[in-house]
Amino acid sequence: MSRFAGKRALVLGVANKRSIAWAIAKRLADEGAELAFTFQGERIESSVRNLAGTVGSKLVTACDVRSDEDVARVFQEVGEVWDGGLDLLVHSVAFAAAEDLEGRFTDTPRDRFWMAVDISAYSLVATARAAEPLLAARGGGSIVTMTYLGGERAVPHYNVMGVAKATLDASVKYLAWDLGEKSIRVNAVSAGPVRTLAARSIAGFTEMERMFEERAPLRRHIDAGDVATAAAYLLSDEAKNVTGTTLYVDAGYHAMGM
Please write the tens of the pLDDT for every residue from 121-142: 999 999 999 999 999 999 999 9
Residue 185's φ and ψ, nearest 5 degrees, are -100, 145
* DSSP-assigned letter for residue 121: I
Mean residue pLDDT across the chain = 93
> Looking at the domain assignment, is residue 186 inside a domain?
yes
The torsion region of residue 57 among left (phi > 0), alpha (psi -120 to 50) and beta comes to beta
DSSP E strands in the chain: the ranges are: 8-12, 34-39, 59-62, 88-91, 141-147, 184-191, 246-249
The answer to which of 158-167, 173-182, 247-256 has the lowest mean pLDDT is 247-256
Is 148 designated active site? yes
Spatial CA neighbour of 116 closest among 153, 166, 68: 166
Question: What is the predicted pLDDT for the residue at 99?
Answer: 94
| Identity of the amino acid at 58 | K
> Looking at the domain assignment, is residue 125 inside a domain?
yes
Work out how many domains the chain is built from and give that number. Answer: 1
Residue 202 has pLDDT above 70, yes or no: no
Task: Give the contacts of 58 (CB within 8 A, at least 6 positions apart).
Answer: 34, 35, 36, 81, 82
Residue 93 has pLDDT above 80, yes or no: yes
Question: What is the predicted pLDDT for the residue at 213?
Answer: 82
The mean pLDDT value for 231-247 works out to: 98
Question: What is the predicted pLDDT for the residue at 58?
Answer: 87
> Looking at the domain assignment, is residue 1 inside a domain?
no
Residue 196 pLDDT grade (very low, low, confident, very high; cuts 50, 70, 90): low
Question: Domain range holding 246?
Answer: 8-255
Is 233 designated active site? no
Question: What is the predicted pLDDT for the residue at 221?
Answer: 86
> Looking at the domain assignment, is residue 3 inside a domain?
no
As a residue count, the chain comes to 258
Catalytic residue (choose from 158, 174, 248, 253): 158
> Looking at the domain assignment, is residue 155 inside a domain?
yes
> Looking at the domain assignment, is residue 205 inside a domain?
yes
> Looking at the domain assignment, is residue 2 inside a domain?
no
Q: CA torsion 208→196→117→71, rounded to 10°?
A: -170
Measure the CA–CA gap between 81 and 91, rounded to whole angstroms.
19
Question: What is the predicted pLDDT for the residue at 1?
Answer: 61
The mean pLDDT value for 242-255 works out to: 94
The mean pLDDT value for 198-223 works out to: 75
Question: What is the predicted pLDDT for the residue at 220?
Answer: 85
- CA distance to 21, 82, 184, 209, per residue, from 205 (Å): 20, 40, 35, 6
pLDDT digits (tens, 9 = 90+) for 25-50: 999 999 999 999 999 989 999 999 99
Measure the CA–CA gap between 61 and 136, rounded to whole angstroms.
22
Instruction: State the distance between the two ends of the chain, measured CA to CA, in whole angstroms.
Output: 39
Say which CATH number the domain at 165 has.
3.40.50.720
Residue 82's φ and ψ, nearest 5 degrees, are -115, 35
pLDDT digits (tens, 9 = 90+) for 110-123: 999 999 999 999 99
Catalytic residue (choose from 122, 148, 174, 248): 148
Spatial CA neighbour of 144 closest among 22, 16, 230: 230
Question: What is the predicted pLDDT for the residue at 204?
Answer: 63
> Looking at the domain assignment, is residue 85 inside a domain?
yes
Residue 195 pLDDT grade (very low, low, confident, very high; cuts 50, 70, 90): low
Residue 152 has pLDDT above 90, yes or no: yes
